[in-house]
Amino acid sequence: MRSLISILDLSVEEIDELIAVANDIIDNPKKYAEKCHGKKLATLFFEPSTRTRLSFEAAMYELGGNVLGFSEAQSSSAAKGESVADTVRTVSCYADIIAMRHPKEGAPLVASMKATVPIINAGDGGHNHPTQTLTDLLTIQREKGRLNNLTVGFCGDLKFGRTVHSLIEALSRYTGIKIILISPDELKLPSYVKQDVLKKHNIEYVQTTDLEAVMPELDILYMTRVQRERFFNEEDYLRLKDSYILTPEKLKTAKSDLAILHPLPRVNEIAVAIDDDPRACYFRQVLNGKFVRMALILKLLEENS
């Protein structure tokens, strides 16, 4: 059974193919309108979500399929103490494919060992978020026309930000990538990502606390929210939450073709005044997320049929 738990479950060639299919869907939506007729996607969300869950659901509807699921653990039998393993064995009886988000790292992997249909990891704790990465890669490809020879700045909560971990893993397989890690000391990229990904692939990287100092170098600026729900105490969150706020003033030294990405939700870290700047890509990124999830659903259903 082919699932998607980590972005590294897909080869670079498969990612290129998913991006190509997503671009074709954007250009020829009618061609895909009945591709999943009679198929069902279950969305099992044990953690809050707006974009990821609704984009999966919109994706399946636009492929002519149907959707079932739950959007909070409290409304499922998890509230009665059911294990993830039993929940997915059950849902495998009702659906052809499952997208699952869970606060515990590794829960979707466990689910994939028990389910009899493909599992898509829609975010597991502070670990991974591979479909956000597909969204980010499609966005970078559409905005910049390439996925190599890029200087990419990641700014904010690099410790708990799962979208950061997955995107760094993905980018480490392209050439000419330089990574700039911008965070407060307490929210630095975990050392396992540095060791297992950046060092292992000989990716050039620097760590800094100073966003403005590195701004002129960046081709991509990937802003992130400080992940309140992963903090052990509220005081630390309150102290760190506004570490970086991107304002028009701070963009003055940026490249004219910088692409500003953010997985969203935004709290304070990008001033609303930037939304109208042509370099702000985050709402185009949202739309790309639906198309690339359509491509992914098609691929996993075809491979497992």
Q: Which of 92, 112, 132, 141 binds ligand NCD (CB under 6 A)?
A: 132
Least separation in angstroms between CB 120 and ligand NCD: 13
To the query of whether residue 284 is one of the catalytic residues in this protein, the response is no
Alpha carbons 295 and 119: distance in angstroms, whole number:
15
Look up 51 and say whether it is catalytic: yes
Number of residues that bind ligand NCD (CB under 6 A): 12
CA 13 to chain centre: 19
225/290 with CB nearer ligand NCD: 225
Separation of alpha carbons 196 and 202, rounded Å? 10
Widest distance between CA atoms in the chain: 55
Is 129 tagged catalytic? yes
Integer-rounded Cα radius of gyration of the chain: 19
| Cβ within 8 Å of residue 2, ≥6 positions away | 118, 300, 303, 304
CA dihedral 224→109→56→130, nearest 10 degrees, is 40
In angstroms, what is the minimal distance from the CB of 282 to ligand NCD? 10
Stretch that binds ligand NCD, among 57-65, 238-246, 248-256, 258-266 (CB under 6 A): 258-266
For residue 252, indicate whether it is catalytic. no
130 belongs to the binding site for ligand NCD (CB under 6 A): no
State the minimum distance, in angstroms, from the CB of residue 227 to ligand NCD: 6
Residue 135 CB, nearest approach to ligand NCD (Å): 8
The residues pairing with 119 across neighbouring beta strands, listed in sequence order, are 98
The residue (of 214 and 226) whose beta carbon lies closer to ligand NCD is 226
The stretch among 1-9, 71-79, 177-185, 262-270 that binds ligand NCD (CB under 6 A) is: 262-270
Binding mask 211-240 for ligand NCD (x = CB under 6 A): --------------x-x-------------
**How does 136-151 read in b/e, with b if 16+ C-beta sit within 10 Å?**
bbbbbbbbbeebeebb
Is residue 51 part of the contact set for ligand NCD (CB under 6 A)?
A: yes
Is beta strand 119-124 parallel, antiparallel or unpaired with respect to 40-45?
unpaired
